[in-house]
Chains A and B, each alone.
Chain A
Amino acid sequence: MNKLVAIGITSALLAACASAPQRSDSIDQARTQIQTLSADPLAHQAAASDLQSAQARLQDAEAAQAQKRPPAEVDHFAYLALRHAEAGEARVEAAHAQAEVARAQDQRTNIVLAARASEADNAKAQLAQTQQELADLKAKQTDRGMVVTLGDVLFDTGQATLKPGADLTLDHLAHYMRDNPHTRILVEGFTDSVGSDAYNDALSQRRADAVAGALVRRGLPEDAVRAVGRGKSFPVATNDTSAGRQQNRRVEIVFSDAGGRFAQSNDSDIIRR
């Protein structure tokens, strides 16, 4: 203001020495910059005061030019106008970038939610598959956990060699164990009451070992499976009939939970890990 007053007082003198032709390049440049800025809708929020200052300095420059002030003075005001407009443009760019950040953060939320939903779907599908596999194995839920019973038709009488008919069931088992890598199994052999305890204990142990070995050959880690012979203890049917005895000659597979824990682990010499 003071400057303008001072300039006003001496305008006649200055006009005498400011003989340069009327140039308006700097004014044009500032005006263009201001027009660009005000064309952006965001400018009126993000850079309102810059826009205002730029327009005020542009008016100063135009007034100086109209009053035939020295070009340096016109250029000075035009320069200030230009720089205010440029500062405003930078503030508009910052506002655009901040809006972009906000949009990207929304997107991030959506990506995370979608990933969680897909994880949940996968977990559901995995569970359904596991249940289907157990159903295929005709697993029964007991108080010892899930149990699959392999009947004695898997073995010849008095023998512990698995017959080819066992392959499909063993494949199912191995597949199930691959899908549930933390599950462990206990393979228990049982016989009927024919023969001595020692004979039956040994036979049931060899049959359990044969099943466990067949599973290990199918890729089961050795520490995921434990075989034990139970002999003629724990019959599931009468030993007085041949049908009952056939039911008692069997191999049972007890599954741990998904974390490797068995439902009944008090039998510590068998399920010792």
Chain B
Amino acid sequence: MLRLTLIGTAGACALLAGCASEGPQPTAQLATARTLVAQADKSPAQRYAAADLQRAHDELSAAETADGQRKFNDARSLAESAAADADVAVARGQAGEAQRAAHEVAQGNASLRSESERAAAASSPPPAPAPSEPPASQTDPH
């Protein structure tokens, strides 16, 4: 917020002071930002980094608006921020997904371990009866 305000202030200052010198149209920066935001939309970012993703969307649309108004410096700066934020969203989505997987495997191991301990306890043979002489089993079978 502060940063956007500062950009706005700087823009206003530039316009008021008559020192506005717009750079070229940031076509490449906008294209990069669009690509990265679209990638983030397709990634697990929504689940793990919703705020970053939302921020990237907001900045991209602000960049498009500024571009339409030929405020190319603002548009460039916003597009760069959108790209960086979309990349953060993607990376945090990957981290969240990997941590979820690690948690699942660890949980699976824990239940597998207790399961096999239970099985071992259940199937271990009871103590054998004391060997003793059956009273009568002396004849051979036919």
**Chain A residues positioned under 8 Å from B2 (CB to CB):** 75
The answer to whether the Cβ of A2 comes within 8 Å of any Cβ in the partner chain is yes
The A interface, classified by DSSP as helix, strand, loop or mixed, is helix
Cα–Cα distance between A149 and B139 once the two chains are bound (Å): 6
Cα–Cα distance between A234 and B139 once the two chains are bound (Å): 13
Determine if B135 and A168 form an interchain contact, defined as CB atoms under 8 angstroms apart.
Answer: yes
Give the nearest-CB partner of B13 in chain A. A17
The answer to whether the Cβ of A93 comes within 8 Å of any Cβ in the partner chain is yes
The answer to whether the Cβ of B69 comes within 8 Å of any Cβ in the partner chain is no
Cα–Cα distance between A126 and B126 once the two chains are bound (Å): 9
**Total A-B pairs in contact (CB under 8 Å)?**
203
Determine if B10 and A73 form an interchain contact, defined as CB atoms under 8 angstroms apart.
Answer: yes
Determine if B10 and A133 form an interchain contact, defined as CB atoms under 8 angstroms apart.
Answer: no
Give the nearest-CB partner of B112 in chain A. A111
Q: Residues of B at under 8 Å CB distance from A?
A: 2-3, 6-7, 9-10, 13-14, 16-17, 19, 21-24, 73, 76-77, 80-81, 84-85, 87-88, 90-92, 94-95, 97-99, 101-102, 105-106, 108-109, 112-113, 116, 119-120, 123-126, 128-129, 131-132, 134-142
Sample of 29 A–B contacts (CB below 8 Å): A2-B23, A3-B23, A6-B73, A17-B16, A72-B3, A83-B81, A87-B87, A87-B90, A87-B91, A91-B91, A94-B94, A97-B99, A98-B98, A104-B106, A104-B109, A115-B119, A119-B119, A132-B128, A135-B131, A138-B134, A138-B137, A151-B136, A154-B136, A166-B136, A235-B142, A236-B139, A236-B140, A237-B139, A250-B139
Q: Residues of A at under 8 Å CB distance from B?
A: 2-3, 6, 9-10, 13-14, 16-18, 26, 50, 70-73, 75-76, 79-80, 83-84, 86-88, 90-91, 93-95, 97-98, 100-101, 104-105, 107-108, 111-112, 114-115, 118-119, 122, 125-126, 129, 132-133, 135-138, 140, 142, 144, 147-151, 153-154, 165-166, 168-169, 171-172, 175, 179, 234-237, 247, 250, 252
